Amino acid sequence: MAPKQNDLLQGTLDMMVLKAVSLGPLHGYGVLLRIQQISGNRLEVQQGSLYPALYRLEHEGWIASEWGQSENNRRAKYYRLTAAGRRRLHTETEKWNHMADAIGAILRATPEEV
């Protein structure tokens, strides 16, 4: 069973949605699937917080939406990354990596290094 999403912060969900959408326009359900897919099925996004996140990101202008046709000819809302979103993804990724390095360094500390 993949670890539940509850522990993850709202900011990381935003980042993951941006990343998912950066790989190509997706509808909401598609974003869900893609995150699951590229995480190698290790991560499942809690569905209740998905759409609020998508709307929030659209409000900030990092993704843009338009209505289109899905694979089985149903009407669906597709999201794509905007230029501002791309920049945001970049900065967030850098911050995340920075943070991960710092915490990783702390966790790798051995008694001898102190």
Partner 1 sequence: MSVASRIATWWKAVRRPEQLSIEIEDELRFHIEAYATDLMRSGLPREEAFRRARAELGGLAAQKETCREAWGTRAWDELRSDLRYATRMLAKSPGFTAIAIGSLALGIGANTIIFTVTKAILLDKLAVPHPEELRLFAITQGDKGVVHSSWGYFDQTPDGKMLSTSFSYPVYQQLRKHNNALQDIFAFKNYGRLTATVDDKAEVVNSEMVSGNYYRALDVHPILGRPIVDTDDTAPGSSPVLLISYGYWTRRFSRSPDVIGKKIEVNSAPMTIIGVNPPDFTGVFGVQSSPDVFLPFSMQPIAAPKFGSSLLTDQNLWWVMMMGRLKPGVSAEAAQSKLDADLNGAVRATLTVGKDEEMPRLILENGSRGQNEAGGEFAKPIYVLMSLAGFVLLLACANLANLLLARASSRQREMSVRLALGAGRARILRQMLTESLLLSGAGGALGLLLGYAGRNALPHLLSSSWEPTAVDGKFDWMIFGFTAAVSIFTGLLFGLAPAWQATRTQVSSGLKDNAQTATQRKRNLTGKTLVVIQVALSMLLLVGAGLFVRTLMNLNGAHLGFRPDNILLFDLQPQQTRYPDAKGIALYHQVEEKLAAVPGVDSVTLASVPLIANNISNMYFTPDGQPENSNSKGKKKAVDFNTVGADFFKTFQIPMIAGRSFDDTDTETSRKVAIVNQQLVKQFFPNTNPIGKTFMAGDRDNPKRIEIVGICKDAKYESLRRDPPATFYVPYRQQDGAEEMNFAIHTRMQADAIVPSLRSAVASIDKDLPLQDIRTQNEQIEDTTRQERIFASLTSGFGILALILASIGIYGIMAYTVARRTNEIGIRMALGAQSGKVLRMILREASWMAVVGVIAGLGAAVAMARLIASMLFGLKPYDPLTLGCASLLLVLIAIAASWVPAWRAAHVDPIKALRHE
Query: What are the residues binding partner 1 (CB under 8 A)?
Result: 27-29, 47-48, 51-52, 55-56, 58-62, 70, 74-77, 84
Alpha-carbon gap, residue 70 to 49, rounded angstroms: 22
Least spacing, CB of residue 13 vs partner 1, in Å: 13
Least spacing, CB of residue 83 vs partner 1, in Å: 8
Three-state DSSP at 92 gives helix
Residue (33 or 38) nearer to partner 1, CB? 33
Residue (51 or 96) nearer to partner 1, CB? 51
Least spacing, CB of residue 53 vs partner 1, in Å: 8
Nearest to 83 by CA among 61, 99, 67, 102: 61
Nearest to 17 by CA among 41, 51, 40, 42: 51
Residue (12 or 65) nearer to partner 1, CB? 65
Three-state DSSP at 65 gives strand
